Structure 1
């Protein structure tokens, strides 16, 4: 896909937002509206799902393709000589890490919120296998089966074994699948994005421009542990945000305020959201 899909709101320095899931920005309006009071918020829609493409065929996705697309969006919207802030959550957080590693030239600061980059963990292969099982469960039994397994995996405070019991099969038709961003994520995004391993050496050299974040409600859970581990491995900043994995949707205003504060700390000499 060569077309670029994005929306722009507000004024001030450019803040690129990369949603999670299949990249559909649903539920982010509250957060982006608040951020638009301080930033030019550019919300990237990598598959164009909010721009008339929901229901059209989708191929298996690659982190690098989303990252390259995000870079092209910045090329389209950034004035010459200026740099952008970037926020990505979940799958979007993986993209934000890749964007910083591969295209850092015009990035001011990046916040990656709960990226499922579980392969960096000492037991990462086991967690990657669990995500692969979620995708397999979706194909075999449908959304409910996959969703219950993923929820259990993400919220467990202890390592868990793959349950052998499969709930009642409720597979979607292809038409239903193409109309569901969650189903598209399970079919085409989750496996390649959770298999992706960030370039830790490259990111460590850029760690002054990176904050890895997790939700306060996610403490003890897999993606909070992953975010903490990444920050420590990179000798970089770690920050907690309101809510859990979906904090941007569930607590949009305090989440936006915490994000703005992280990107442009109050009281730091030379830090301003107007240049």
Structure 2
């Protein structure tokens, strides 16, 4: 499959995106776009490779990977990123796309369907980390603030250890969760030294707008887009999987189950091993309406 890389000027950013395959698609299907956040296009390499029969589009969000920003901001508002994704879809000039979006990218995708309902034919929103949608939203927000504070106080290793502990906690955030001692970064193979940086897009307050995004349920339900919420079989009981199920409930549907975990579309031999081949089979089923 031939891959071409493009750069697109948007309001306050230069967005880099990749087109894997031809436009228009040789099989007549709409492009399949894959969106993450804070993950860039490289995180979809294994999954995109499983769709050699379709035109796949991946992109780097503004200020991440190869995409730059000149708006003077560092925060990651879904509404702003929505404008970038919309601009890429317009530049493709191929009509509505099918969209697989994961994590913060799924929040961007839900905001995209709200603002530009004609851009997307089918959206598969995989584990959007929408804290406010959870039944234990107040406690989940406290847990989120906890790993951000660990990062501010003690650096990346401590912050990532607290993030892992938070995102792997099964069920609602109870007193038992908050009574735990701070996790040791070394137990996760993370650095214990503080390098002084505080700009990580995952651990800092730069992505607060992502987890705090407020859904417009009426707009989503009224859109022509077919919206499917999805969670991993291994992450069904942790925060991101529970959020997918909660959002599905708000839209009057049930979240569908996918193989593996939050990053289950990754390569089996990757840093966080996923099940890309099995994940792709399930994604094909869902996109086809099965």
Normalising by the residue count of structure 2, what TM-score does the alignment of the two structures yield? 0.79
| Contact kept? 1:14, 1:78, Cα under 8 Å | no
Displacement, 1:51?
2.1
Displacement, 1:69?
0.6
- In structure 2, stretches of 5+ residues that fail to align are 1-11, 186-191, 267-273
In the alignment, which residue of structure 1 is the partner of 2:193?
170
Match of 2:210 among 179, 193, 210: 193
| Partner-residue secondary structure (3-state), 1:70 | helix
Displacement, 1:30?
1.0
Displacement, 1:94?
0.8
Say if 2:46 is the partner of 1:33.
no
Instruction: Specify which structure has the bigger relative contact order, considering alpha-carbon pairs within 8 angstroms and separated by 6 or more residues.
Output: 1
In the alignment, which residue of structure 2 is the partner of 1:260?
284
1:68-107 matches, cutoff 5 A: 68-79=83-94, 82-107=95-120
Match of 1:130 among 120, 140, 143: 143
Say if 2:136 is the partner of 1:120.
no
- Structure 2 distance, partners of 1:116, 1:163, is 22
- Structure 2 distance, partners of 1:116, 1:230, is 10
Q: CA RMSD in A?
A: 2.5
- Structure 1 distance, partners of 2:53, 2:252, is 29
| Partner-residue secondary structure (3-state), 2:58 | strand
| Contact kept? 1:58, 1:188, Cα under 8 Å | no
- Change in Cα spacing, 1:239 to 1:165, as seen in structure 2 (3 Å) is closer
Deviations 1:169-216 (A, max 9, x none): 633344xx66xxxx2332354322111121122222238610000001
In the alignment, which residue of structure 1 is the partner of 2:16?
5
Say if 2:87 is the partner of 1:63.
no
- Change in Cα spacing, 1:58 to 1:242, as seen in structure 2 (3 Å) is farther
- Change in Cα spacing, 1:246 to 1:64, as seen in structure 2 (3 Å) is same
In the alignment, which residue of structure 1 is the partner of 2:227?
210
Deviations 1:57-102 (A, max 9, x none): 97122111111110111010133xx211111101111111111111
Comparing 102-111 and 153-162, the one that deviates more = 153-162
- Structure 2 distance, partners of 1:46, 1:86, is 15
- Change in Cα spacing, 1:58 to 1:138, as seen in structure 2 (3 Å) is farther
Deviations 1:24-44 (A, max 9, x none): 233321101112x23211102
| Partner-residue secondary structure (3-state), 1:185 | coil
Say if 2:251 is the partner of 1:238.
no
In the alignment, which residue of structure 2 is the partner of 1:270?
none
- Change in Cα spacing, 1:23 to 1:68, as seen in structure 2 (3 Å) is farther
| Contact kept? 2:232, 2:257, Cα under 8 Å | yes
Normalising by the residue count of structure 1, what TM-score does the alignment of the two structures yield? 0.83
- Structure 1 distance, partners of 2:67, 2:84, is 18
Give the aligned length: 254
